Structure 1
Amino acid sequence: MIDAGALAPYRDYVLPEAFIPELPGFYRGKVRENYDLANGERMLIATDRISAFDQGLAVIPFKGQVLTDIARFWFEATGDICANHICANPDPNVMVVQRLEMMPIEIIVRDYLAGSTATSILPMYKAGARKIYGIDFPDGLSANQKLPWTIITPTTKAGHDAHDAPLSAQDIIERRILTPRQWEDVAQKAFALFWRGREIAAARGLILADTKYEFGFNEEGHIVLADEIHTPDSSRYWVAATYAERLEMGRPPDSLDKDFIRNWIRARCDPYREPIPEIPGDVILEAAAAYIRTFEIIAGRSFVLPESLEPAPLERIRANLAFYWRR
């Protein structure tokens, strides 16, 4: 396993942005740069930015590459459940995908009472809510406890400087965001994807506590899985071996996701009301090691560090993508 110490030489080997003027249709997301290509495909470049609490926080070495590698693993492992948008992978940080008409909602599937953000069920439950996302919750549940059943908690999809908002299945139908048939279809796909992910994670000693999916429609109107799947940015992974002991002690589970950064921040401020302090370099490297460890556990293979700091990540990406503006 690669630890934080081994990553120290790579502290500045990061991809904070990936603007390439030769590529058309540029759009910047929270962590990805998007390009709409002339042939109707879309290019997604995963930067090393990390985002939470509706704002950017820092850049984590190798994070974009790890997210791309993990997403590829899961797209391949779930292709029999739902079609996905992958067309090509010309660089470790890059996916070329189908351009879809994206659903204006995010689908979050949950197995545990967890979370720290405004749309997570744990803060709502702690505040006394017992009907959350249109679902009735029993009294007496504790933080990070397994729920009586697997649930879906959809949210709106906010842009920059905006906040996601909870939705119920009834809201989605009544507001005509999706038809009843579309909602039934996407809910079934989301549950099936999650159950597959939960099964594979368990075989590797991990608990997939919850995850976020994004879907779109292709030209034929079929539902297609988009964005990413079961990555540490879109999912909450816990170490199964220590889960019960830590729950009994009232401590949060050992996590292998961006909760590492979230928890560091929440211990020092209210990120929705107060300025977020600068994240120290040692915390950044610990986060990078956690991302890499998650990849190695899930994919079952070692993450290979580059032998040299040259070329820089953006230079390598430009070289690998030159075909797309020269053709």
Structure 2
Amino acid sequence: MKHLHSGKVRDLYELPGGELLMVARDTISAYDFVLDSPIPDKGRILTQLSLWWFERLADVLPNHVISTDLPDGAPAEWRGRVMVVRRLEMVPVECVARGYLTGSGLKEYQRTGSVCGVPLPGGLVDGSKLPEPVFTPTTKAAVGDHDEPMTFAEVAAEVGADVARRLREITVEVYRRGAELAAERGIIVADTKIELGWSPEGELVLADEVLTPDSSRFWPADQWRPGRSQPSFDKQFVRDWLVSPESGWDRSSGQAPPPLPPQIIERTRAKYVEAYERITGRTFQ
């Protein structure tokens, strides 16, 4: 296997036959930093949950998965966290859909009354449900850099108007499907980010991960209260701790965040496990 790339969470290898091997680590990122504290089993949870969603979105668009078998010579500890995938030409845009207003979208709305050029009604607060899901793409920044919001016109200038419309259509439909199914399990999907790429045949393909606690905001529906930061099943829990007085970290300092305490690591793992089990109906092992 030839190592090609390491991202915030995944390592990418080339196999002898030309296929790619993705390996999900237990690392966690926040505020554009990869933290020093791994979350046990996180890579396995992300992989298994993505595979579950890929199956349920197969009628929306194809995905990049060829196999989940552990290749010959791969370490045994990779079992459950690998995907053998097709080689794609990745779309140079982060495709994001929002059904609720929070995070960077909320900050932009408070400044401009819109998100990524999409006007929104007045009077919205943190956690407000939007009238309908909106496509809010961003640039695709390198590790350590920050993604910047893009308007639809900017996406069209980057990839062409027809492709931009298709990206918007796919992203919103993936969000709708995910939000509807999660709602049946008592979970609100506030927003989600997906990765898309072109196959050699020119077909758009769903890649990387989908509707996981890393790529989405998951909120317990019975605790949703607009006007505040929502309880979550995702890494927002880690973000909240990092900017709390307890962490002692000054985000504006430019310094890396401190290690996570054992209790934060344990509670974060429990949130990822609960998200997986509630959504899939399966027991994580």
Same fold (TM over 0.5): yes
**One-letter code aligned to 1:145:** S
- Give the deviation of 1:49 after TM superposition: 0.3
Cα distance in 1 for residues equivalent to 2:53 and 2:281: 12
Counterpart of 1:290 in structure 2 is 271
Match of 2:258 among 268, 277, 280: 277
- Give the deviation of 1:281 after TM superposition: 0.8
Aligned CA distance change for structure 1 residues 155 and 270 (closer, same or farther; 3 Å): farther
Match of 1:162 among 141, 145, 152: 145
Counterpart of 2:30 in structure 1 is 52
User: Matched residue of 1:59: which SS?
Assistant: coil
Q: Deviations over 1:31-60 (max 9, x none)?
A: 101112232211110000001211112210
Match of 2:130 among 134, 147, 153: 147
Counterpart of 1:106 in structure 2 is 94
Runs of 4+ in structure 1 off by over 4 angstroms are: none
Counterpart of 2:231 in structure 1 is 254
- Give the deviation of 1:67 after TM superposition: 0.3
**One-letter code aligned to 2:210:** I
Cα distance in 1 for residues equivalent to 2:211 and 2:253: 29
Cα distance in 2 for residues equivalent to 1:272 and 1:192: 37
Q: Deviations over 1:192-227 (max 9, x none)?
A: 111110111011111011000110000011100111
Matched, 1:42 2:20: yes
- Identical residues among aligned pairs (%): 40
Kept in 2, the 8 Å contact 1:237–1:257? The answer is yes
- Give the deviation of 1:270 after TM superposition: 4.6
Kept in 2, the 8 Å contact 1:103–1:216? The answer is yes
Cα distance in 1 for residues equivalent to 2:81 and 2:120: 40
Kept in 2, the 8 Å contact 1:53–1:272? The answer is no
Residue segments in structure 2 that go unaligned for 5+ positions in a row: 70-78
Count of residues in Structure 1 that have an aligned counterpart in Structure 2: 271
Matched, 1:237 2:221: no
Match of 2:106 among 122, 133, 140: 122
Cα distance in 2 for residues equivalent to 1:25 and 1:94: 14
Kept in 2, the 8 Å contact 1:25–1:37? The answer is no
Kept in 1, the 8 Å contact 2:108–2:114? The answer is no
Cα distance in 1 for residues equivalent to 2:53 and 2:223: 25
Q: Deviations over 1:154-177 (max 9, x none)?
A: 111111222211111101122xx2
- Give the deviation of 1:132 after TM superposition: 2.8
Cα distance in 2 for residues equivalent to 1:148 and 1:270: 36
Cα distance in 2 for residues equivalent to 1:291 and 1:210: 16
Match of 1:132 among 115, 138, 149: 115
User: Matched residue of 1:138: which SS?
Assistant: coil
User: Matched residue of 2:277: which SS?
Assistant: helix
Residue segments in structure 1 that go unaligned for 5+ positions in a row: 1-22, 305-327
User: Matched residue of 1:148: which SS?
Assistant: strand
Kept in 1, the 8 Å contact 2:47–2:81? The answer is yes
Kept in 2, the 8 Å contact 1:88–1:96? The answer is yes
Q: Deviations over 1:83-115 (max 9, x none)?
A: 100111123010111010001111010011111
Q: Deviations over 1:289-310 (max 9, x none)?
A: 1101111111101112xxxxxx
Counterpart of 1:173 in structure 2 is 156
Matched, 1:66 2:45: yes
Give the TM-score taking structure 1 as reference length: 0.80
Matched, 1:218 2:199: yes
Cα distance in 2 for residues equivalent to 1:218 and 1:272: 41
Cα distance in 2 for residues equivalent to 1:37 and 1:170: 38
**If you compute each CA radius of gyration, which structure gives the higher value, 1 or 2?**
1
Kept in 2, the 8 Å contact 1:109–1:212? The answer is yes
Match of 2:186 among 205, 213, 216: 205
Counterpart of 2:174 in structure 1 is 193
**One-letter code aligned to 1:92:** G
**One-letter code aligned to 1:271:** R
Cα distance in 2 for residues equivalent to 1:168 and 1:270: 31
Cα distance in 1 for residues equivalent to 2:120 and 2:3: 44
Cα distance in 1 for residues equivalent to 2:41 and 2:20: 22
User: Matched residue of 2:68: which SS?
Assistant: strand
Cα distance in 2 for residues equivalent to 1:180 and 1:280: 47
Counterpart of 1:84 in structure 2 is 63
Root mean square deviation of aligned Cα: 1.4
Give the TM-score taking structure 2 as reference length: 0.91
Cα distance in 1 for residues equivalent to 2:8 and 2:116: 25
- Give the deviation of 1:272 after TM superposition: 4.6
